[in-house]
Amino acid sequence: MLLPRVIPCLDVAGGRVVKGVRFQGLRDAGDPVERAQAYARQGADELVLLDVSATPEDRGNALEVVRAVRRVLPLPLTVGGGVREARDAEILLEAGADKVAVNTAAVTRPELLDDMARIFGCQCTILALDAARVADGWETVILSGRERTGLDAAAWAREAVDRGAGEILLTSWDRDGTGDGYDLELIAAVRAVVPVPIIASGGAAGPAHMAEALAAGADAVLAASILHDGHTTVDDLKRELRALGVEVRR
């Protein structure tokens, strides 16, 4: 039986971990290698590293961060941010990523997913989907939430999987960084249409939220603010998840 995963997320810019609310107001949250090692020691099941660099020059820094994290991390590493074509994904894999997440570029050119799945395999091809609530469901948003696409999030998830995405990193734009809990209806809506694993993201304030997301159909839960701010540790989260009846890796 696959065990639910707890996945710390490092948003990286300028060689540092940063974190904001609803993708805005970024503040410093530590050294990426130190954070990666700490989370690995605490029992993290995997790590996601998102390059949120604003400039092309900073992309080089992010690549150095991937290399440095890889040297110390004996866990799966998903990297996303700024991937436009298969060659960008290859550069990240060579630097030490195990999986590559694509977001905006997959919406503007969905064939990118077919290319990546063909060259690197679907288990390596992750769709990062940012969804905002609208009257009759959820709309896919891109460019860190700055642009709405008119694409129904569940329909887009389904298309992406048909094209070769092997996992979905599903972020609620409305909940990101708020601590109000994951958008459970969003998770259930996407779960209903895809067979691939879903990583729930956006809104976790604690283990109860995580248990809810897993019950709603997520296979993994992403957490950033609550870990970076030192409110809790992966150890504590897992202990509390077990107390809530969720079997997680020791």
Partner 1 sequence: MTEVVVIRTGTANLASVAAALQRAGRTVRFSEDSADAERAELVVLPGVGAFGPVVARLDELRLRDPLTRRIAAGRPTLAICLGMQLLAASSAENPDARGFAVVPTTATAFRDGLRVPHLGWNHITAGEGCSLLADGDAYFANSYKLDEVPDGWAGATTDHGGTFVAALERGPVLACQFHPELSGAWGQALIERWLDTAAGVV
Annotated catalytic residues are: 11, 130
According to CB under 8 A, which one of 16, 19, 35, 70 is a site residue for partner 1?
70
Q: Taking the complex as a whole, how short is the minimal distance between the CB of residue 247 and partner 1, in angstroms?
A: 10
- 122 near partner 1, rule: CB under 8 A: yes
Q: Taking the complex as a whole, how short is the minimal distance between the CB of residue 237 and partner 1, in angstroms?
A: 15
Written as six digits, the tokens of 45 are 């099941």
Q: Taking the complex as a whole, how short is the minimal distance between the CB of residue 107 and partner 1, in angstroms?
A: 22
Stretch that binds partner 1, among 86-94, 146-154, 200-208, 224-232 (CB under 8 A): 86-94
- 108 near partner 1, rule: CB under 8 A: no
According to CB under 8 A, which one of 8, 96, 181, 202 is a site residue for partner 1?
96
- 60 near partner 1, rule: CB under 8 A: no
- 121 near partner 1, rule: CB under 8 A: yes
- 98 near partner 1, rule: CB under 8 A: yes
CA of 59: how far to CAs of 8, 80, 81, 99, 128, in Å? 21, 11, 9, 18, 19
| CA-based nearest residue to 74, from 115, 44, 111 | 44
Q: Compute the distance between CA of residue 77 and CA of residue 122 in angstroms, rounded to an integer.
A: 15
**Three-class secondary structure assignment of 22-34:** CCEEEEECCCHHH
- The residues, any chain, with a CB within 8 Å of residue 111's CB and separated by 6 or more, are 163
- 8 near partner 1, rule: CB under 8 A: no
β-pair type (198-201, 16-21): unpaired
According to CB under 8 A, which one of 113, 131, 220, 226 is a site residue for partner 1?
220
Opening angle at CA 247, ends 241 and 249, nearest 5: 95
Q: What element of type H or E holds 65?
A: helix 56-72
According to CB under 8 A, which one of 88, 130, 167, 212 is a site residue for partner 1?
167
In the chain, the amino acid numbered 99 is: K
Size of residue set near partner 1 by CB under 8 A = 39
Q: Compute the distance between CA of residue 178 and CA of residue 184 in angstroms, rounded to an integer.
A: 15
- 91 near partner 1, rule: CB under 8 A: no
Residues that bind partner 1 in the complex, under the rule CB under 8 A: 1-3, 5, 40, 45-46, 67, 70-71, 73-77, 90, 93-99, 118-124, 166-167, 195-197, 219-220, 249-250
